[in-house]
Amino acid sequence: MNSIDIDVGGTFTDLVLTRNGSVTPAKSPTTPYDLSVCFLNVIEEAAKNSGMTAEQLLGDTQIIRYSTTIAMNRLIERSGPRLALITTEGHEDAILIGRGAQWVDGTRVAERRNLAVQNKPMPIIPPELIVGVRERVDSTGKVVRPMDEADVRAKVHRLVNNGARGFVVSLLWSFVNPAHEQRVKEIIREEYKDYHLGSAPVVLSSEVLGKLGEYERTMTSVLDAYLQRAMQIELSAMWDRLRDKGYRGSFQMIHNSGGIAEIFKTTASRTYNGGPVAGLIGAQHIAKQLGYHNVVTSDVGGTSFDIGLIVQDAVRNYEFRPIIDRWMVGITMLQTLSIGAGGGSIAKVNRALGNRLEVGPQSAGSLPGPACYNLGGTAPTVTDANVVLGYIDPDYFYGGKMKLDKAKAEQVVQQHIARPLGVSVHEAAWLIRQVVEGNMASAIRKEVHLRGYNPDDFVLFAFGGGGPTHVAGYKQDIKRAVIFPLSPVFCALGSSILDNIHVYEKSQRMMFIQPFTQQFVVDQDQFNAVVTSLIDVAKLDLAGEGFDPDQAIFQLELDMLYGGQVQVKRTSSPELFIRGEAYARAIYDEFEREFAETFSRLVVNPAGGVYVDNFVLKAVLPTVKLNLPTRALEGPSPAYAQRGSRLAFWPEHGDLRETNVYDGMALRPGNVVEGPALVETQFTTIVVPPGLIYSINQHELGILE
């Protein structure tokens, strides 16, 4: 099956074309003013590289997978519609209180420390557009206060008169009994019919997220409603242009849960952070083939530095408190860490802190970009520093398609960094690299150590356009780094091997093991009924998308905890159903193992009882996976791949030195490049400092150690 995988980054849009078993990369500058432009541009670039027109390429492609930053862009811009929230009377302030954590949710550590200037975010829905209606359903789904329909109608009219152009309905315990939410929607439709110009979209929390957690469930619904229209317009524009060019295949979105689904079956919040998650899943697949059990994935793009962990072959580390922008949500998101550090990160001297050099998190993006792009950028960036140091060839950037202005890079580094610090321009550029790589190394160290792991047990995967350029500086405690031929487009490559996954959740509290007696008392019929209901919904969705539900693999995960504790652990259940105590014991044993690994064996407490809080069903339709090639090793000499030399700055020598430059695509398995050296490929440069070696293994992967 021929496929196109596209990942939109802050600076470049990446593409991987899988065609007749071969894989071809392409890149195009991101157009933040309209992402559909760079989307089509990169497809046309891939077509040109393959000797075809875009129409010919699309006509012979069966599937397009897409990860996007649309959701984050629209949140940053606060350019969504004016929404209203209808909730249960007396709970109007729930999303404004934000469980008391909105002060720090989604902020950086430096911001949290500066409490004097810390503020809650401006609410997406202002207080004047939040109303409570007279109704009440209890935790069992029983109606304890019938809904006052006259009250609902009056408040809906008031909201519209106040400017509401969309409604979010989130009532207490609606995920147990959604009848009142559904009736509110009917009332809105009776007053403002679909075919009226004044019709407004209505989002029900019981349909968006059927699980416990009023604030998280409501905010997930709010974000979906807020982002829905913008994403719909942008994706519809892409879809129309694809159809105009003859594309008749499937168009799918990457989800932050680790799977993919049709754009028409995707909610906005599921697309957030899809690119880094795709890279993490792709790395997991390759790590298994290489026999690496523990891996740190690192992606250096133009705007951000993304980290993920593979532990014991698994990526099942979920965000404990998933945050989108500044809002806590309730969806299942694979855990990745992102900091503002990349090729476009802006360097500046903070005079208020004693002339301290800072790099990021602000980024020059793709427009105007770094100063060396000569597109109007006036601030020094990490890319400018690499050009000044001689690591990036101004005539070969982006495969030679984009000429860089070295004089401009030297000018801004000299003016904004070297002169204020009283150092040479090369020393200033090196300091910029040191700071940004120190930030990256610190992020990796915290991510590994704070989860209780030892960096010595890990291998580092470096990808993104800047990963190979900076990995020697940020790998530090990790001895070996792996660099891929397709490192600059690795997230797009990762999406090409993602399975089609749908995730379904349902909150259902039930006792699993009785306190004190430690007897298995789980109600098998109730347990199995919940799982069966989720499977039925999954099969219906899969059939609606044109898949055979009988081909799906169903996987069950359970949110479980010990009695008297607050730490909930999501556990991979070895069984879909419980058919006797042996099945229940197998589920508990897996919970205990994962709980102890995460929190410590010292807090394992079956005597306190064990409870199930939430059911998570994954419906998986596996895709065909690419396998790494295996080649015979040749001699160590890389001399035939040398393409000349150029001056580059190495702090070990204290000045510029003539440095060998090698063609990375010409290197063959068994070749060894000793530092200092520069290895160039079409979209990146691998920097090999003195004291390190870069070798090509039997799978044509680069190893830096």
Return d(Cα 640, Cα 511) in angstroms, integer. 68
The answer on pLDDT for 702 being more than 70 is yes
Return d(Cα 247, Cα 242) in angstroms, integer. 5
| Residue 316: band (very low, low, confident or very high) from pLDDT cuts 50, 70, 90 | low
Per DSSP, the three-state class of 7 is: strand
pLDDT of residue 71: 64
Return d(Cα 276, Cα 110) in angstroms, integer. 24
Report, as an integer, the average pLDDT of 150-176: 94
The answer on pLDDT for 252 being more than 90 is no
Report, as an integer, the average pLDDT of 65-86: 78
pLDDT of residue 653: 85
What's the sign of the alpha-carbon dihedral 477, 482, 486, 490? negative
Q: At what angle do helices 35-49 and 214-244 cross, to 10 degrees?
A: 50
Give Cβ neighbours of residue 263 (< 8 Å, ≥ 6 apart): 66, 235, 239, 251, 252, 253
Return d(Cα 428, Cα 261) in angstroms, integer. 47
| Residue 365: band (very low, low, confident or very high) from pLDDT cuts 50, 70, 90 | confident
Q: What percent of the chain has pLDDT over 70?
A: 98
Q: Is the peptide bond before 420 cis (omega within 30 degrees of 0)?
A: no
Residues in the chain: 705
| Residue 574: band (very low, low, confident or very high) from pLDDT cuts 50, 70, 90 | very high
Per DSSP, the three-state class of 452 is: coil
pLDDT of residue 73: 64
Residue identified by tokens 């063609």 is 663
pLDDT of residue 460: 95
Report, as an integer, the average pLDDT of 451-473: 90
| Residue 70: band (very low, low, confident or very high) from pLDDT cuts 50, 70, 90 | low
Ramachandran angles phi, psi of 241, nearest 5°: -70, -35
Secondary-structure class of domain 75-230 per CATH: alpha beta
Return d(Cα 289, Cα 183) in angstroms, integer. 53
The answer on pLDDT for 230 being more than 80 is no
Other CB atoms within a 10 A radius of the CB of residue 562 amount to 24
Provide the CA 635 distance to its chain's centre, in angstroms.
40
On average, the pLDDT of the chain sits at 89
Other CB atoms within a 10 A radius of the CB of residue 444 amount to 23
Question: What is the third-level CATH fold of 500-621?
Answer: Dna Ligase; domain 1 (3.30.1490)
Ramachandran angles phi, psi of 130, nearest 5°: -115, 125
pLDDT of residue 241: 87
pLDDT of residue 187: 95
pLDDT of residue 79: 73
pLDDT of residue 554: 96
SS3 content of the chain, % helix, strand, coil (to 5): 35, 25, 35
pLDDT of residue 325: 83
Kindly report each contact of residues 231-239 with a partner whose C-beta sits within 8 Å and lies 24 or more positions away, as own/partner. 231/68, 231/70, 231/71, 231/74, 231/268, 231/271, 234/34, 234/35, 234/36, 234/70, 235/70, 235/263, 237/36, 238/35, 238/36, 238/39, 238/40, 238/66, 239/263
- Residues 198-225 have pLDDT tens digits of 678 899 999 998 888 899 999 999 999 9
Ramachandran angles phi, psi of 184, nearest 5°: -60, -45
The answer on pLDDT for 77 being more than 70 is no
pLDDT of residue 482: 95
- Residues 13-33 have pLDDT tens digits of 889 998 887 888 898 888 877
Provide the H-helix boundaries in 454-578: 467-474, 490-495, 524-544
Ramachandran angles phi, psi of 11, nearest 5°: -115, -45
Least confident of 105-119, 233-247, 580-594: 105-119
What's the sign of the alpha-carbon dihedral 261, 264, 266, 268? positive
- Residues 580-634 have pLDDT tens digits of 999 999 999 999 998 998 888 899 999 999 999 999 999 998 877 778 888 999 9
The answer on pLDDT for 117 being more than 80 is no
Q: What percent of the chain has pLDDT over 90?
A: 54
Distances (CA, A) of 578 to 211, 523, 545: 22, 9, 30
Other CB atoms within a 10 A radius of the CB of residue 7 amount to 30
* Alpha-carbon dihedral angle through residues 643, 649, 652, 655, given to the nearest 10 degrees: 120
The answer on pLDDT for 424 being more than 70 is yes
DSSP letter for 520, please.
Answer: B
Report, as an integer, the average pLDDT of 63-87: 80
Return d(Cα 530, Cα 543) in angstroms, integer. 20
Report, as an integer, the average pLDDT of 230-240: 82
pLDDT of residue 500: 82
pLDDT of residue 198: 66
What's the start-to-end Cα distance of the chain, in Å? 37
pTM for this model (two decimals)? 0.85
Per DSSP, the three-state class of 603 is: helix
